[in-house]
Amino acid sequence: MSNTSIYDNPDHELLRDQVAKFIAREVEPHAMAWEEAGSVPRDVLRRMGEAGLFGLMYEEKYGGAQADAMTNLVFAEALSQSTFAGFIITVLVHTDMASPHLHHAGSAAQKEKYLKRVISGELITAVGITEPGAGSDVAGIRTTARRESDPGSGSGAGAWVLNGTKMFITNGVHANLYFIAAKTGAGKRDMSMFIVEKGTPGFSVGRSLKKTGWLSSDTAELVLDNVRIPAGNLLGEEGKGFYSVMKNFQTERIALAAMAVGHCQQALKMTLDYVRQRKAFGAPLWSNQTIRQRLSMADAKTRAARQFMYHCAWRVTQGHDIVQDVSMLKALTGELVNEVVQTCQQFHGGMGYMRESAIERLWRDARVLAIGGGATEVMLEEVAKRY
């Protein structure tokens, strides 16, 4: 299964190699303990930042590499060669789902204050959009932000006061910096984004949530109880937060597609090795025609999805509107990864159901990829309404 693509260049291969070496050295030997602990140690993330892996798309003056969407995809796919999706999503939320809000909409002062430390890994980020009653329906959020005068400012600059609850927030327990969506008017899409630092009075983790998969990612309910933040913590234009979220969804969904494709590739690799070695009824499983053909078809679908994924990233670099394409990609890969990983798990027999088996972990971790970041059904509606 070759990773060669017409979109590749030598810098991409160097990046893949750098990420692969980091995973082999810093992740795979230790990540089972992280699964038990429920989070990735922040010193590991700091080392990733110090290695220059947290700012690929961001400005050089803040420590970034100013790379394009194709390079960012190469990073996400390389990261997804790990078999520990909790680690992968911890990183991708920081690099592709939360901090891009600061990159795209942040003022010069906000970037100067935060972005250097985000890129270095000193600050780990989370994004608070989903709520108990609003997931894929972003416009249905109920968290509010209201303006108030700030008696402590002495300048009449004012403040914002946030109230509400966020749910299923990855990095929610241990992040340092949060980008929170809140309603700022009566209109359905009248919302804004805000910067909230950990430790702000009234801002707390309501619950640390236990999940079926992604065990080494910390996931939380966040509570905002009269959280007062400076007026300068408004991120981007007031009332334009919905459009900021929609724009960033395209980056997020390509990253999730990379996770899905990476899981497919890893599942196929370990299963091809397994069925060649495992014997049943006196012969290797590979001698069974059905097994050979089903794995071949799974590989074909994975390769096709991968090329579509790279095509979507290439279209981003060309400045095209990619909402329909990326919605297709997210729907396709979210379903495909569950199909491929379950097929591979089946061919591991009883061992595929044991917690000690990597294929069992991939099976659990894959399930959410058809849900998170836009459920398959929502993605297909996004596709259909653009015909």
pLDDT for 157 beyond 80: no
Give strand ranges (E) for 63-170.
125-128, 144-148, 159-170
When the candidates are 3.10.50.40, 3.90.1150.10, 1.20.140.10, 3.40.630.10, the CATH number that belongs to 243-384 is 1.20.140.10
pLDDT for 294 beyond 90: yes
252 is catalytic: yes
Q: How far is CA 133 from CA 167, 168, 173, 220, in A?
A: 9, 11, 21, 15
10-123 and 243-384 agree in CATH topology: no
Query: Which pLDDT score, from 0 to 100, does residue 6 have?
Result: 82
- Please tell me which residue in 252, 335, 356, 381 is annotated as part of the active site: 252
Query: Which pLDDT score, from 0 to 100, does residue 325 have?
Result: 96
Digit-coded pLDDT (tens) for 216-230: 999 999 999 999 999
Instruction: Specify the CATH number of the domain 10-123.
Output: 1.10.540.10
Task: Tell me which residue of 333, 327, 256 sits closest to 88, measured CA to CA.
Answer: 256
pLDDT for 155 beyond 80: no
Domain spanning 126-239: CATH superfamily: Butyryl-CoA Dehydrogenase, subunit A, domain 2 (2.40.110.10)
Domain chopping of the chain, boundaries:
10-123, 126-239, 243-384
> Whole-angstrom Cα distance, residue 110 to residue 127?
16
DSSP state of 209: P
Task: Tell me which residue of 270, 287, 260, 314 sits closest to 12, measured CA to CA.
Answer: 314
pTM listed for this prediction? 0.93
With a pLDDT cut of 70, the percent of the chain lying above it is 96
